[in-house]
Amino acid sequence: SQKIEQNSEALNIQEGKTATLTCNYTNYSPAYLQWYRQDPGRGPVFLLLIRENEKEKRKERLKVTFDTTLKQSLFHITASQPADSATYLCALLIYNQGGKLIFGQGTELSVKP
Amino acid sequence: GAVVSQHPSRVICKSGTSVKIECRSLDFQATTMFWYRQFPKQSLMLMATSNEGSKATYEQGVEKDKFLINHASLTLSTLTVTSAHPEDSSFYICSAHPPNTVLDEQFFGPGTRLTVL
């Protein structure tokens, strides 16, 4: 079965530094991988999507890479700010199943001023 | 972006009672909606896919007779937790996407916190 893993340990970094989060998957070659942000007690909010044939995607201070050989995606936040503190989830989009997503357990990021 | 709402945001009920949670797409029609459950410090687990006009598709291990899903219209799906027990206490979240965007982002509701006493 499909399995997706994120570093379960919380990531603590200093403001201004780059945060790098890891997402690894097994047993499946996804067509799309998505990253979401979730604040406590709220639903996830979409951040970025990267396709199987793309190696990198950027949006403002966010960057996502996708290595289908390593079965890994990296999520970077440059010039991090305390407001970036949240839990970040990666998700595999299951192709041909109507948009079904399988989520990793999330990595909690804390940016200290 | 598209907006998905849920109601109620919080509900506390006694063991053995049934609870209904609504998921609405406010500015688009959704033939498909998804229901997730999230326990503290854990990931979102897909429970079922709600299909407008047909039966829901449940994930393995999810009891369809306990978690009743009704997708009555193109903007409303409901999840009813029947005979709720304390172990059903969790954060329930729905999601949907506008037509012809199945491969793009999904829009999530704000979630419903269910506490069963």
Question: Maximum distance among all alpha carbons in chain B?
Answer: 42
> Rounded to whole angstroms, how far apart are CA atoms B4 and B95?
7
Structural domains present in chain A: 15-86 (2.60.40.10)
Q: How confident is the model at residue A17 (pLDDT cuts 50, 70, 90)?
A: very high
Digit-coded pLDDT (tens) for A51-95: 888 889 999 999 999 988 888 999 999 999 999 999 999 998 876
d(CA B28, CA B21) in angstroms, rounded, equals 19
Token pair of A54, please? 């793309």
Chain A positions touching B103 (Cβ under 8 A) are 31-32, 93, 95, 99
Question: What pLDDT shows up at residue B13?
Answer: 96
Decide if A50 contacts A66 (C-beta within 8 A): yes
H helix count then E strand count, chain A: 0, 11
Predicted pLDDT at A30? 64
The minimum CA-CA distance between A100 and chain B, rounded to whole Å, is 8
Spell out, as residue ranges, where chain B has pLDDT lower than 70: 102-103
DSSP three-state, residue B31: coil
pLDDT of residue A85: 98
3-state secondary structure chain A: CCEEEECCCCEEEECCCCEEEEEEEECCCCCEEEEEEECCCCCCEEEEEEECCCCEEEECCEEEEEECCCCEEEEEECCCCHHHCEEEEEEEECCCCCCCEEECCCEEEEEEC
Residue A38: is its pLDDT beyond 90? yes
Residues in chain B, overall count:
117
Average pLDDT, rounded, for chain A: 90
Look at residue A76 in the predicted model and tell me its pLDDT: 97
Yes or no, beta carbons of B42 and A104 under 8 Å apart:
no
What pLDDT, on the 0 to 100 scale, is given for residue A22? 96
Alpha-carbon distance B43 to nearest alpha carbon in chain A (angstroms): 4
Q: Specify the pLDDT at position B97.
A: 83
Separation CA B68–CA B77 (nearest Å): 10
Confidence category of residue A29, pLDDT binned at 50, 70, 90:
low
- Highest mean pLDDT: which of A16-20, A27-31, A67-71? A16-20
pLDDT band at A28 (very low <50, low <70, confident <90, very high): low
